Amino acid sequence: MDCKAALLECDGDISKAIDHLRKKGIATAKKRGGRTTSQGQVQSYIHAGGKIGVLVEANCETDFTGKTEDFTNFVKDIAIQVAATNPVAIDRERVPEDVLEKEKEIYASQAKSSGKPEKIIGKIVEGKLKKFFSETCLLEQPFVKNPDITVQDLMNELIAKTGENIVIKRIVRFQLGETQ
């Protein structure tokens, strides 16, 4: 029914209707963002002949949703995403401060050494940080199974479908031979 309503609202334009539905899903996700998530799943993924392993904890509001096939597939997909992309953090807020400061320093130094004016170096650093976040923050990365959407978009779709708040609580990635 949502699809039909979106098509009617967008005068039959399918691409506009898809955008409308995605925006509606994001708005719904934001409304549910503050609700408690104490149920969910921990899933694992082992890749490359046992050389990479991932654990993911994803939480939702009810045990019912936590046991659905959609939720299980979502958590498994997140584990595959972590194995493939090795994110630094789940979101921007969880990027370690020392890593962030180091990146800012590197970007500022690069801009200065290439002869950029002092007044635009801040904007250059800001732009490069945005790209850094899209590569290293799980929720901002393009989804490996569909690069047209981000992991956040994937999660928002599930939130809209289930009607519950969903969060990725923790991720851990192990790689054989890697030192801490």
Cα 136 from Cα 86, distance rounded (Å): 8
Please tell me the number of Cα atoms within 13 Å of 103 on its side-chain side: 19
Q: Under CATH, to which class is 37-175 assigned? A: alpha beta
Domain boundaries, the chain: 1-32, 37-175
For 46, residues 6+ apart whose C-beta sits below 8 A from its C-beta are 52, 53, 54
d(CA 16, CA 5): 12
pTM passes above 0.85: no
Residues 113 and 75: their CA atoms lie apart, in Å, by: 44
Tokens at 106, concatenated: 């590197």
The per-residue pLDDT string of the chain (180 residues; one tens digit each, 9 = 90 and over) reads 667 777 788 788 878 777 776 676 655 555 555 556 789 999 999 997 899 999 999 999 999 999 999 999 999 999 999 999 999 999 999 999 999 999 999 999 998 888 888 889 889 999 999 999 999 999 999 999 999 999 999 999 999 999 999 999 999 999 998 876
